[in-house]
Amino acid sequence: MDLKEHWEKIYNTKQFEETSWYESRPEYSLEIIRSLGLSPEANIIDVGAGNSFLPDHLLELGYKNIHVLDISAKALRDSQARLGEKANKIIWLESDVTSFKPEVSFDLWHDCAALHFLTSDEQVENYVSVLRASLKTGAYCLLSVFSENGPDKCSGINIRKYATSDLEQLLKADFDTVRLENKDHTTPWGAKQNFSTGLFRRK
Ligand SMILES: C[S@@+](CC[C@H](N)C(=O)[O-])C[C@H]1O[C@@H](n2cnc3c(N)ncnc32)[C@H](O)[C@@H]1O
Report how many domains make up the chain: 1
* Verdict on whether the full-model pTM lies above 0.95: yes
Per-residue model confidence (pLDDT) at position 182: 98
Cα-Cα-Cα-Cα torsion 5, 7, 8, 9, nearest 10 degrees, comes to: 90
Q: Counting atoms of ligand 1 from 1, which one is nearest the CA of 46? A: 6
Distance of CA 120 to the CA centre of its chain: 18
Q: Whose CA is nearest to atom 10 of ligand 1?
A: 114
Mean pLDDT of the chain: 97
Burial class (CB in 10 A: 0-12, 13-18, 19+), 133: exposed
Q: What backbone torsions phi and psi does residue 140 show, to the nearest 5 degrees?
A: -105, 155
Over residues 112-168, the pLDDT tens digits come to: 999 999 999 999 999 999 999 999 999 999 999 999 999 999 999 999 999 999 999
**Domain assignment of residue 144, given as a range:** 96-202
Rounded CA-CA distance 89/75 in Å is 17
CA–centroid distance, residue 58 to ligand 1 (Å)? 18
Is residue 33 one of the residues assigned to a domain?
A: no
Is residue 124 one of the residues assigned to a domain?
A: yes
Over residues 73-86, the pLDDT tens digits come to: 999 999 999 999 99
Q: Which of 89, 111, 88 is nearest to 100 (CA)?
A: 111
| CATH code (residue 169) | 3.40.50.150
Per-residue model confidence (pLDDT) at position 57: 98
Is residue 163 one of the residues assigned to a domain?
A: yes
CA–centroid distance, residue 113 to ligand 1 (Å)? 6
